[in-house]
Structure 1
Amino acid sequence: MEKLVKQIIRRTPTPNFLNWPNNWVLKLISLIFAVLLWYFVVGEDKIDTTVFIPVEIVNLPRELVISNQFKKQLEATVSGPRGLINSINRQRITRTINLAKATPGTIVIRNEPETIQFPRGITISRIQPTHISLLIDELVEKELPVQARTTGTPANGYELGGIVFEPQSIKISGPKAVVGREKLLAAKNIDISGLKESTTIQIPLELRPAILDLMGETVVTANVMIREKTIEKTITDIPVNLSGTAPSRKITLEPDTISIRAMLPQSSKGNQSGLIEASVLTDGLPAGLHKLPVKITAPEQIKIIEILPATVTVRIGRGPDK
């Protein structure tokens, strides 16, 4: 650089400061910058190298989505002055693809040297891949239920009462070709072997690859309900009680006992009638005959199937003896 400046000075005639224009300082600075630029662009060694250029998709309509995998960066072989080449990594150079006018279908895009804006002085000799294929599809959204699957059986005398997931369904969005045919999201198998009581576990979803790419690894909470097995029994001789009866009137019931069909735990012993209360509401009724429904109150583990009979005849007298 020093030799170059001395050569320029020797070849430059001695200036006559009286004849210099007023802006001679600006012109001198411009000359210095021109010399420096010439040195960096022409005087530097030229090198060849390979750089990686990211692909940038812009202006894709909201109702569309790219449904295929494509190369997210290009491999470009370039040549130019060492300084310019070294500056590439500090610049945000991309291969921009404008999809503002895209429609559903396949688009093939050529990667030409002029599609990448390198600094002036850099030459592109090769770009790989030479083409990018994009499959454009409609963007759809669906809410899919989570499906339970189990292995094994609970302990003897117990059964699976059900599985409730949190959340019970998951909303996903993606290409119509991928999401459109999905009906549910299957959880991995839940092992219920030997269980005697309900439990809560975290369980991942078992997704096919295309859905996994959209959702990523997803875990849900499974509330596994285990209950004692039940059997159907008929419980007889349950007395019917009066509710809201005025003590000044005589009331008779026909019949005054009922039976029920119910599902009870297998471990239940005896008639169980003492656990069940039957009643009829007579409050506010006038004297005479009335057909009233029987109300049953029973523990949670007893599930009523049928009341026999479901109604009873109530006779309300006008006085204590009538």
Structure 2
Amino acid sequence: MKKKLANNLSLKVISVLIACVIWILVSGTVDPVRTNVRYSGVKVEVKNDGYILDAGKSYQIADEYQTVTVYVTGKKSVVEGRTDIAVEADLTQIVNMDTNPAYVPVTLKSVSGISEEDVTIIPKTIPVTIEDTATKEFLVTGMSTGTPGSGYVVGECTTDPEKIQIQGPESVVNKIKSVVATVSADGMTMDATKKAKITLIDQNGEPMSEEYLQFFNISDDHYVNVLMKLWRVQDDVKIKANYSGTPAKGYQVDKITTTPETISIAGSEAALKKLEDNGNTLEIPGELINVDGINSDLEANVKLSALISEEDELKIPEEVGQSVAVKVSILPYGSREYNLKTDAIQIQGLASDLRASYNKDEISIRVKGTEANLDALKTGDIKAVIDLTGKTAGEYTIPVTITLPDGYEQVEEVQATVQLNQADKTSE
């Protein structure tokens, strides 16, 4: 038996060698070596920045040098699909801080299965700008985004702390104009406090990159608390317009109208109670509407923000128009303005295949008479007619013929804008 085994020994050795060769060939095919597998945008971790800060200096690294490209060579199974590739820049490698900029080598951090000789980092060194340190104090402005629950708006946003101190590179600190902290108010129906990361705003009003934050020594670790106070929305608040001055001789103010007539206002409970005590009415002060020496209608556009202030604890919701149109009707003495519904206007000469509609619900008719007659006149006593003879589809501004009872005089001509469209054959 032993003799038989000895006779096959050489054959067995050869078989083992062949198997090894095959394994090597197969493993090289299945797990080949990959050269310069690229990982771009690898973040450079700064190490030992205290080396600079302890010297009373600050530093910054330009955005384009905060990431590098890493090329790795090795077995496919080792070098492809890695998520743990990490590099660092050790600031203790800076020998002379008076050099501006100073260059620091970028090296591979300890990564399992990859040795430094199999790694190429581009660029190999990065510039670090070293400069004097500046310290400034800034107010933090709280801001909200999103839409609170129905019937509420964010009335106040305050921060805790109200101020923060920022210390960092002098050139960058001097770029800061303001500091804001923004939180979401989506769906809120009660006051809340939320934590928010600060955003630095530059002199152009643009947000500065968050990457700058790493170069600053900022109190409260870049975060502040934002307190949001919700205000309830009060609908159907009337607008009352006052005026100042005296119209031209022989003329008077007949009436003042506003568009819209009512708006929605949000406010604190105390402010809304005060508004309620005033009949839920927002007044436009007379100094904003001056009629001195005027002998014709006056129209003005008033910003609602001019009617309230922060001290009032009132706010116009964003979905509400931010201005109101005011019209002051100026009439001669002994005259008055009446509003007639446009659907009361008689139409003559309208082609049978056309339908007419008006751009307004009412027209204004100015009438002169004695005070007793004017008090007695009703809109139903006024007859209005337009003639559309020969008109085709389109929009027209047509004179309106007004007929008044005896003892009344029309002050000025009246026009109406009419839209003519083809009649719907089905309904016809």
TM-score by length of 1: 0.34
RCO higher in structure (CA 8 A, sep ≥6): 1
